[in-house]
Structure 1
């Protein structure tokens, strides 16, 4: 297997990706496949953090309204990410690699509370760390969480898993003329209002010179392919 392009990364997996072809819930075979891919990446010598969304269970921003405040709805969304993290943690451990869920929301009976020093120790001991609970604050997406945790963990890149093989000028499922970018700067991604990540995440990545690799996760071994330089993807930022 090729030498990995990065030695320490955070992989961002959306909650919707865990539901497979279903509109809601958790598709266990899909989770097992992602877990196997993460374990293979770990076996390449890559230190791995994972941030998982909660959209397959609940999206706080969509739930908020007249009868429910945005902070309350976002807190509910953060709880959904913890549920997804626990499912993924169990699958990773069944696949043969130790994993730890660390939540920004304290719930010690369920999982560890996020502490930077402890998370770094887990990575050094070759555990896959799953960061749950978002940032612990409302109004911030799990995309922003992924960039934040990557910066805190001294990662070299964020691998953003999506349903398409990179960043396009428009939605390729709706616009057949959409073109795929091989590389963009963070500033270009913000200025073009590309929807693959929110502007706050891009701005934080720009400030920390954190490259974001956007790739499709639906293929088997997609994560290891990107790390090996074999998968199709779009680089936002610079590898330097």
Structure 2
């Protein structure tokens, strides 16, 4: 992911970005380099569940960032280099939403 404008969010999670499906349940799930806000809403679902790898982003939060058009970097919070780069707007391993 390349640099992006200031005024962005960073979601540090237990997986390294947004996937096409839950990678714990679907071995064919693919990591997305980029995703639209609409993709994030669809993948987050419409009901709140507990945190964990099956939900990369809270459904309510997904709707809020979509409505405000806020770019969000989704990274593995254990990958400190990816997390640092996402925070400062440098290229990172993960998914850029928006």
> What SS does the corresponding residue of 1:160 show, helix, strand or coil?
strand
Residue 208 of structure 1 pairs with residue 59 of structure 2: no
Q: How does 1:26-45 map to 2 (within 5 A)?
A: none
Q: Distance in 1 between matches of 2:23 and 2:80?
A: 21
Instruction: Pick from 133, 146, 162 the counterpart of residue 13 of structure 2.
Output: 162
Q: Distance in 2 between matches of 1:168 and 1:234?
A: 9
After TM superposition, give the deviation of residue 188 of structure 1 in Å.
Answer: 2.1
Q: Distance in 1 between matches of 2:11 and 2:62?
A: 12
- TM-score between both structures, scaled by the size of structure 1: 0.32
Instruction: Pick from 211, 220, 230 the counterpart of residue 80 of structure 2.
Output: 220
Q: Distance in 2 between matches of 1:193 and 1:222?
A: 22
Higher RCO structure (Cα 8 Å, ≥6 apart): 2
- TM-score between both structures, scaled by the size of structure 2: 0.71
Residue 186 of structure 1 pairs with residue 37 of structure 2: yes
Structure 1, gaps ≥5 residues long: 8-155
Q: How does 1:1-240 map to 2 (within 5 A)?
A: 5-7=4-6, 156-193=7-44, 195-226=55-86, 227-237=88-98
Q: Distance in 1 between matches of 2:43 and 2:84?
A: 29
> What SS does the corresponding residue of 1:203 show, helix, strand or coil?
helix
Structure that is richer in helix per residue: 1
Which 4+ runs in 1 deviate beyond 4 A?
Answer: 4-7
Q: What is the aligned residue count?
A: 86
> What SS does the corresponding residue of 2:38 show, helix, strand or coil?
helix
Structure 2, gaps ≥5 residues long: 46-54
